[in-house]
Copies of this chain bind each other. A is one copy, B any other.
Amino acid sequence: MTQFKEPVFDVAQLAHVELLSPKPQETVEFFTRFLGMSVTAREGQSVYLKAYEDSYQNTLKITESKDAGLGHVGWRTHTPKALERRVQAVEATGLGKGWIDGDVGHGPAYQFTTPDGHNMELMFEVDYYKQQDGEKSRLLNRNVKRPDRGVPVRRLDHINLMTSDTAKNTDFMLDALGFRLREQIQDQGTPLGSWMSVSNLVHEIAFMQEPNQVPGKLHHLCYWYGIPQNLFDISDLLKDNDYHIEVPPNKHGISQAFCMYVHEPGGNRIELFGDAGYLITDPTFEPVIWEMKDTPGYGDTWIGTAFPESWWTQGTPVTLPEVIIAK
């Protein structure tokens, strides 16, 4: 039996995500009226929201901006010491930016970027959401009552970022933050997509190759239903309200998740998960490697139609062709 490296258990979860939107009001309406989320705070040019089974003060911050895209990704560690360890590891990479006092919903956070320039932060101290009168559910493991608006999502699930160099950014998450590689799409050995987690989920974060090597884009943010039918319900509601559903309910091969994709009015792609896919509890789980030539058909979609070209190529902010050429 070979030597087993003791695994790292420092980052615990994806705590929150900040999205940038050029149409913040419409973006907030999308998340509240259709996905049933609640606004829990407003400050400056930002609105903070949560899903009804999110227990923190917020899991989504929407900030007004000229272009759509990612604001930042917030990771919470298991303990204060785990936070210290990860900050040290990130500092060693030279990608650290330093501490901030906190934001609405959390305490001190250490800011840094991925090699691709995506903004991230690490923190331990968070604020739990304080229920208002009449909001509390008798289902004690549910943060607040199920909303009567739209088809309400239950909790934040994961983030997917486009990168100019999938291999390099994947290594950063594995080495500096202790993520484990779960699945990967390769083209003759070159990683084009990586799915990584710090938990039993197949991923809290994925990286996909931006076809023109443009750095720093967001591919999508995902909220979770856990119930397959709910994807059809929300699709029906969104279609009747003239939203464009980029990918209708479909089953990924990678992660086995029942999924769909829609663009929120600000332009960012939102994924919704309709089941738990599969969970990884095997401590010596070996990454599942897919070949690009097997898509479409197996890795991207197991039961479903091929994803449209836009899904493979477009992220936010949208980059104009000439900008790409200039690079």
- Count contacts on A: residues with CB < 8 A to the other chain: 80
Residues of chain B within 8 A of A82, CB atoms compared? 6
Check B283–A78 contact: CB distance below 8 A: yes
Give the Cβ gap from A41 to chain B, nearest Cβ, in Å: 19
Contacts of A281 in B (CB 8 A): 12-14, 199, 201
Within 8 A of B (CB), among A178-215: 183, 199-202
Question: Is B256 a contact partner of A142 (Cβ separation < 8 A)?
Answer: yes
Contact of A305 among B233, B299, B305 (CB under 8 A): B305
Whether A283 and B139, one on each chain, are in contact in the complex, defined by CB atoms closer than 8 angstroms, is: no
Give how many copies assemble into the complex.
Answer: 4
B288 touches A140 (CB 8 A): yes
Chain A window 64-94, contacts with chain B (Cβ cutoff 8 Å), 1 for yes, 0 for no: 0000000000001111111000000000000
Interface assignment of A45: CB less than 8 Å from any CB of chain B: no
Q: How far is the CB of A121 from chain B (nearest CB, A)?
A: 16
Known: A79-B283, A279-B201. A139 touches B227 (CB 8 A): no
Q: Is the CB of B232 within 8 A of A230?
A: no
- How far in angstroms is the closest Cβ of chain B from A170? 18
